[in-house]
Structure 1
Amino acid sequence: MSSPDSSTPCILLVEDETFLRELVMENLQDAGYSVVEASDGDSGVEALKSDLRIDVLLSDIKLPDIDGYTVARIGKTLRPELRVILMTGYAPSPLPEALQALVYRVLQKPFSLNTLPETVAAALEH
């Protein structure tokens, strides 16, 4: 994990599919964001526990270890100002009630990479 530039918003991207993680990371970096990547929930939680500046958590829901819901809950506990966007490739289902107020948006995969930077910007303004 590299330390992002402190002047630009930083996104923690938690995605276990390498190809998708690289595509999303490149897209967000091209849009001017700093991105810290994690390939599983445990790594995402470790990043959240670190001293890194993290403004937005962008996490897959289904991960090989702990799920994105758990990463989001821990993230909001550690960093109350954290904005949370979740991603899923599975059929839409309601967010667990405890997370409804904590999550800005759930993106259904496949989603348009072209609109992702706008979604992140909206979350930051929310």
Structure 2
Amino acid sequence: MQTDNPSPAHVLLVEDEPLLRELVMENLQDAGYSVFEAGDGTAGVDILRSDTRIDLLLSDIKLPDIDGYEVARIGKKLRPDLKVILMTGYAPSSLPAVLQAQVHCVLQKPFSLNTLPDTVAAALGG
């Protein structure tokens, strides 16, 4: 549990694979983060358009509706201070130019859940 931050960072997790979404959510909650989840890009964008506090977007790139690149683009437009981490199970490709300076990193699946909280902390500037 984070003790140096009285108000936990709020993470929006957008992942269409239910088991992975659950594992990542539990991992981040155990690390002290407040996690909101969405099973597709449209639901993720709906949360980003709401008044819900979101500090970091953690999104899969390949989603069944709109892709993670688009979720990130919309998120950054709506919330310029939003931090972004993308995930993919496919061969790494270069980020679209418009996102290169805005995405902290792209996690290649499978990734270690043990290091995920540190990756999120680094993206948040901690």
Bin for the TM-score computed over the shorter chain: over 0.9
Between the aligned partners of 1:82 and 1:37, the Cα distance in structure 2 is 16
- What percent identity do the matched residue pairs reach? 76
Between the aligned partners of 2:77 and 2:101, the Cα distance in structure 1 is 13
Q: Which residue in the other structure is 1:73 paired with? A: 73
What RMSD in Å do the two structures reach over aligned CA positions? 1.1
Q: Which residue in the other structure is 1:57 paired with? A: 57
Structure 2, unmatched stretches of 5+, are 1-5
Single out whichever of 96-105 and 26-35 deviates more from structure 2. 96-105
List 4+ stretches of structure 1 deviating above 4 A. none
Q: Which residue in the other structure is 1:108 paired with? A: 108
Q: Which residue in the other structure is 2:20 paired with? A: 20
TM-score (norm 2): 0.94
Between the aligned partners of 2:100 and 2:48, the Cα distance in structure 1 is 20
Matching residue's letter, 1:36:
F
Between the aligned partners of 1:123 and 1:102, the Cα distance in structure 2 is 11
Between the aligned partners of 1:92 and 1:7, the Cα distance in structure 2 is 34
Between the aligned partners of 1:67 and 1:102, the Cα distance in structure 2 is 16
